[in-house]
A = this chain, B = another copy of it.
C-alpha cells in the first residue's frame, strides 16, 4: 500500500461509498465531489469526508481523474451515461464497485473503464479496515488496469484481477457466505427471544464456526443433526417450528442441502 494523489469524484452516498470514500481519503486521494440523487445524503457524506462539494446535479460535477460509482446496480447504467455525456471528454477513468455488474456496463460507454469490487459487508455505523480487505479489479485497457491497480493497492494488500464472469460468481458466493449466514444468526436470535434467552450466548458458537474454516474446509467442519441425518432431532426441531411454516421451510431446505453436499461421503 502506498499513498497516491488522484482526484476522485464519488457517485453514490450509501454504505460502499461511505467506507470506500473514507479509505481513499486516508490513502491521500482527493475527494473532489460527492454526488447523490438525494442532496442531503451527498451533503452528509461530503461533510464526513471533509469535502466541500456535495452535488445532486450531474451537470455540476467537478473535473476528476476518477468517477467512482457506488450505487444500486439498476441505476448504474443510466448514471454512467449521464456522467459520460458531461465528463468523458476530459478522459477520466470510470470505475464501478459492483460485484454482479460486468465491466461492459462502463466500457460500452467510455474508453477508460475499470471495476474495483471490495468484498466486504459494510454498515455505516461500523468501521472496517481496508488494509487486508480483498479487492477485485478489472479494466478495459492495460493503462486503465494499471491505474485501478494503483488505486486498489493504495487501500489494501489483497488485490486480485478477475474477469466479469468470475466476479459475478464471487459476488454470489459472498451472498451465501455473508448475507445468508448472517440471516441464520438473525433467525437464531429470533428463536431465543421466544424463550427470553439473551442472544449474546450465541457469540462464542458463531465465532468458533467462523474460526474453524480458517483451518479446514467448511464442508469438513460441518456438525449437527443434518450432516448426521439424525431424523429424531430434526423431527423435534420441525415440531418446535410448527407455528412458523416459513421457518420450517428454511430448516428443511437447508438440512436437505447439507445432506446433499455430504451425500457422497455418507454413501462411501
Contacts and interface: CB of A to CB of B under 8 A. Distances in A.
A72 B187 contact: no
A223 interface: yes
Interface of A is mostly: helix
Contacts of A232: 73-74
B185 A213 contact: yes
Range class of the A interface residue count: 35 or more
A240 B190 contact: no
Nearest to A249: B253
Nearest to A220: B123
A251 B172 CA distance: 10
A178 B224 contact: yes
A126 B212 contact: yes
A237 B217 CA distance: 24
Interface in A132-189: 132-134, 158, 160, 162, 165-166, 168-189
Nearest to A224: B179
Contact of A183 (B74, B188, B194, B261): B261
B222 A183 contact: yes
A250 B175 CA distance: 12
Interface in A200-241: 201-210, 212-228, 230, 232-233, 236-237, 240-241
A214 to B, nearest CB: 6
B197 A178 contact: no
Nearest to A192: B173
Contacts of A227: 179
B186 A202 contact: no
Nearest to A213: B185
Nearest to A15: B223
A236 B233 CA distance: 36
A185 B216 CA distance: 12
Given A180-B184, A181-B181, A203-B213, 12 more contacts: A123-B221, A123-B223, A126-B215, A128-B208, A134-B204, A175-B226, A175-B237, A177-B205, A179-B226, A182-B213, A246-B257, A253-B253
16 contacts: A74-B232, A121-B205, A121-B223, A123-B212, A126-B212, A128-B208, A172-B241, A175-B224, A175-B226, A176-B188, A178-B208, A178-B224, A180-B258, A182-B213, A186-B261, A207-B210
Q: Which 8 pairs between the two chains have the least Cβ-Cβ distance? A: A179-B224, A181-B181, A186-B218, A185-B218, A210-B210, A177-B188, A173-B188, A176-B188
